[in-house]
Structure 1
């Protein structure tokens, strides 16, 4: 699923846009494998560890997008089980399953 420019310019990418270069943001927006959870992750990383995210960006776009995709898949594998844990937030569910949410 791809997202329109307006979808991706909402608050979900507010912090990431301040940390990553415009070129990287444009390339990420074109990456169809990255879904809404991936955008939440990239913004979380930008908020929690902006220097680490910039260092990852400097290693190259493919390295960044691969790391993001892996994290997205790991989180989605757990978050797809939300119905089994209705009392937990997404963060609590990830923590409960010992998923590292930081970069």
Structure 2
């Protein structure tokens, strides 16, 4: 399996498990969806790094790695907040 195929498949799985987590009717199903989401991320993140490093000329790799790391940090900081706000779960069940 190539980097691109792994990245696209993992991204699709991450997206679907994110939707499943947002629609989970019970704590048990939420935990299951989040565990599967973590498994998808375990494929997605290293594949993304592999794509960045493979497609970036050696002279620009340090800058590309810095940008990739910054984007990952931003996603980790913003993603959960956006998920809670869009699901309505952080507002006592009311939409924002």
Return the TM-score normalized by structure 2: 0.31
Relative contact order (alpha carbons < 8 A, sep ≥ 6): 1 or 2 greater? 1
Instruction: Give the number of the structure whose alpha-carbon radius of gyration is greater.
Output: 2
Q: Structure 1 or 2: larger helix share?
A: 2
Return the TM-score normalized by structure 1: 0.30
